[in-house]
């Protein structure tokens, strides 16, 4: 480097040295933070309880999804991942499938795994009766809602994306981003009396889920999907065995 080049840069270098010296002086005057005192056994126990309650929805939802999808094809109130299970008739007082079953709607449930790709939810317009589609994440929160009150009964095609999705969606798809890859859909359609059952079932049959990679094709869900290995602990055991 030439002498003239050094001279041209000397004001900048001098400024850097002054700033570094000032920072070192400032740091020397700052007292170090006091050492963290160890938790007492009472504090540790209380903190552990709070952490357990805070995080409990995550394994609970995962276990619930395992149990709800433990079939090779839709059967009654169960269905494989990324497929709907439709409740085809009104429940009676003995039905414990869902806590506090609604007695004036027919329910449809789908458990989604968005870790591989988004799922496209297709819904028809339904403006002559109440309906709702609830989106629950693994924290049991509801980031999105569609239906009579939330969207005026208008349906459409909705790309349900997970937190890591960075792709581009085709035109005509409205994105509904979820904060967790595990997602639960809970659809409800108002039924006034049992004579409307066939009408409601027909609406349920129009609720479709399609992998994004298959969007725009004539894709249909596979006739059967494999079950998880039978050696896995049962859902009940995994909840009871939580530390």
What CATH fold (topology level) applies to the domain 55-216+235-239? Immunoglobulin-like (2.60.40)
Under the banding of pLDDT at 50, 70 and 90, the label for residue 4 is: very low
Looking at residue 163, the DSSP 8-state letter turns out to be T
Q: H or E segment at 154? A: none
- 3-class DSSP assignment, residue 188: strand
Instruction: Please write the tens of the pLDDT for every residue from 46-99.
Output: 999 999 899 888 888 888 898 899 999 999 889 999 999 999 998 877 777 777
CA-to-CA dists, residue 168 to 118, 143, 150, 209, angstroms: 11, 21, 26, 19
Instruction: Please write the tens of the pLDDT for every residue from 166-223.
Output: 999 999 999 999 999 999 999 999 999 999 999 999 999 999 999 999 999 999 999 9
Phi first, then psi, for residue 135 (nearest 5°) are -115, 115
Q: Tell which wins on pLDDT, 25 or 61.
A: 61
Q: H helices of 30-161, where?
A: 41-55, 57-68, 148-151
In this predicted structure, the answer to whether residue 2 has a pLDDT above a threshold of 70 is no
Share of the chain above pLDDT 70, in %: 80
User: Residues for the chain: how many in total?
Assistant: 243
Going by C-beta distance under 8 Å and a sequence separation of 6 or more, which residues neighbour residue 40?
none
């Amino acid at each position: 480097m030439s002498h003239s080049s050094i001279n041209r840069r000397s004001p900048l270098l001098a400024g850097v040295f002054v700033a570094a010296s000032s920072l070192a002086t400032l740091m020397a005057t700052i007292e170090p933070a006091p050492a963290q005192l160890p938790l007492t056994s009472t504090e540790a126990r209380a903190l552990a309880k709070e952490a357990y309650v805070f995080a409990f929805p995550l394994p609970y939802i995962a276990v619930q999804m395992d149990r709800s999808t433990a079939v090779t094809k839709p059967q009654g109130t169960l269905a494989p991942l990324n497929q709907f299970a439709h409740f085809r008739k009104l429940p009676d007082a003995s039905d414990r499938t869902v806590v506090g079953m609604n007695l004036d709607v027919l329910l449809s449930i789908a458990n989604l795994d968005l870790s591989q790709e988004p799922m496209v939810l297709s819904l028809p317009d339904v403006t002559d009766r109440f309906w709702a589609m609830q989106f629950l994440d693994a924290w049991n929160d509801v980031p999105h809602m569609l239906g009579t009150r939330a969207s005026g009964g208008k349906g459409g095609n909705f790309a349900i994306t997970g937190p890591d999705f960075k792709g581009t969606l085709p035109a005509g798809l409205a994105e509904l981003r979820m904060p967790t890859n595990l997602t639960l859909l809970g659809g409800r359609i108002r039924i006034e009396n049992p004579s409307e059952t066939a009408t409601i079932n027909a609406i349920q049959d129009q609720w479709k889920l399609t992998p994004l990679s298959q969007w725009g094709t004539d894709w249909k869900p596979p006739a059967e999907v494999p079950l998880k290995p039978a050696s896995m602990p049962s859902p009940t055991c995994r909840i009871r065995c939580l530390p």
